[in-house]
Structure 1
């Protein structure tokens, strides 16, 4: 790919960076936005007003201080963190993924993850100059245990990412297979629980069994995608080393206070999650009734479907005012697949109507 930069400027930027594509965010103005696994529910008006008063009283002239400790403690209680374990804050999970790669960037280090999966695992490896090893899932989007164990034995990766459940497939992989991969891992295993509010299982109860396992979560799917709070949990000594590469003041006082406020009203967000899980089941049942559509089980707030012509369906749905994610070009296993975010009952009805019209 030729660079649009003048020669003297192009020489300053890494060639692999110039060849990359930036992470694309679709323009959703005027559309029903069901492309990014966001929680569709906003705070009730009374809580919005209460939060506004609280944020308005913050000393914005000061750097973040002890409230970061308060947020770590609140998240530890929320996650039921085991004794002897610590919690590290990130500006979303994306920053944590980058910081883990940075901390583990020793000669010969590599990152392994199954594909299709979250794009930031591979991107963090590339940007940090680490080798990235991918292992394809099975055609039904399960972990290929034999291939994973063979890749671990051959490459001895420093970091293995296992999304629990996975994005974009929404699958919750077999626990016995995950445990065998964890036991075979020569380095760190990061269990990514971004969609934990909608999942039927969590790894938190098994975290204390393994000193080399880190558990990563985010408040984005909890209902605070705009607040950008991710958190990483693991053995205290291990977290202390990774935390050394974290930029100072990486979480703003506004974001931290919003997260603390949300955790104080956790019951509201839990009710939203229950509603979305119920809507997910209704959506799956109605999708299964559509001719020519294959639907996979979901433990997240998204549903993966295969349609006869994903690009045409995507454009047709967009023309009808509904924005979803066309993942058909992300990986050969995702041929003709769309990823549908679970929305409100009304949003889901509009999405189904748009998809049916395109079929």
Structure 2
């Protein structure tokens, strides 16, 4: 009889067996500032109203027409241009996978600036797509125009991802450089605006200039990370093809109803985002005052900072009950860096104090 190890070696892909799984840090008992979540919960009255509403949902039925109502609500919320369409995903992660599936022709390549969102590369690994990462300019983390254009010419990518703002650096790339990348692209370009609620600029008003550009957003940073809902906007000729590879019931009735409820109360989420933008400025100022700490400009709900010793800072803050992200080994350009999620004013006070104590 075959051993289990023999069976796994026979049936599983060798590259999958060698991959490292995505690890979520245990966070119980910590001030959790490692995952760019909105730290605010709904006010008690809205919590009760949402609970009662979800209790009335027909969870014995598959998702139906209510999904179309959610699409329409998201289109209004985003200000989607007339004549464009929208596809929903179980978070942006699923949308990235669906795009990869739809474009997975033999020899297809996906290109993105690095460091960037890790799921662009992970999705390629899972789908057998070739991934090309183009390093950003050191220190400024701007797009390297010459390197990007050379990579596009050499690899002729089917998909190019541009995060706007970028994760984990938090910056908005120069618009003129993005335009030149889009014009040079032989395939599709996806502008990933996951952090749009915190940014001073967005790409929506330019979406109609380029028919091969798609705009991807998520409700995770809006304040609904727990319901896992992303959406992709673009021309019908593209979106209809992505719809063909989408699982028929990928968004649950509960997620759908929670999202509709949130959009009906978007003023509360806008208020929360405004608080976080103010706290981001305060956090950057406080970090800059710490010895040996260099915070980088951010248009997201996170701040990347270079510290004298990233490992020591991470462990020291964790020992003081504050959980952040040590990104110092994730890319050569991030050497010595940690990523701090912007929390509530009280959480940020604890984070600043914990980092200051960890530096001494």
> Which bracket does the TM-score occupy, shorter chain normalised?
over 0.9
In structure 2, the residue matched to 1:91 is 90
Partner of 2:297: 297
Q: Kindly indicate whether residue 202 of structure 2 is the aligned counterpart of residue 199 of structure 1.
A: no
1:29 aligned to 2:34? no
Distance 1:11 1:143 in 2: 43
Once residues 79 and 53 of structure 2 are traced to their aligned partners in structure 1, the CA distance between those partners, rounded to angstroms, is 27
Report the equivalent of 1:132.
131
**TM-score normalized with structure 1 length:** 0.98
Task: Map Cα deviations across residues 324-359 of structure 1 (whole Å, 9 max, x no partner).
Answer: 000001001000100000000000000000000011
Unaligned runs of 5+ in 2: none
- Aligned residue number for residue 61 of structure 1: 60
Provide the C-alpha distance between the structure 2 equivalents of 1:344 and 1:8, rounded to a whole number of angstroms.
Answer: 50
**Mapping of residues 115-126 of structure 1, within 5 Å:** 115-126=114-125
Partner in structure 1 of residue 220 of structure 2: 220
In structure 2, the residue matched to 1:47 is 46
CA RMSD of aligned residues (A): 0.8
What residue number does 1:79 align with? 78
- TM-score scaled by length of structure 2: 0.98
Give secondary structure in 2 for the equivalent of 1:225: helix
Instruction: Give the equivalent residue in structure 2 for 1:164.
Output: 164
Q: Structure 2 matches for 1:268-283, cutoff 5 A?
A: 268-283=268-283
Match of 2:238 in 1: 238
Aligned to 1:101: 100
Cα separation, 2, equivalents of 1:94 and 1:199:
21
For 1:142, the equivalent position in structure 2 comes to: 142
Quote how far apart the aligned CAs of 1:9 are: 1.8
- Partners in 1 of 2:69 and 2:349 — Cα distance? 41
CA deviations over 1:136-159 (Å, ceiling 9, x no partner): 001121110000000000100000
CA distance in 2, matches of 1:267, 1:115: 34
Which blocks of at least 5 consecutive residues in structure 1 are unaligned?
none
SS in 2 for 1:259: helix
* Aligned equivalents of 2:60, 2:326: Cα separation in 1: 43
SS of the residue corresponding to residue 125 of structure 2 reads: helix
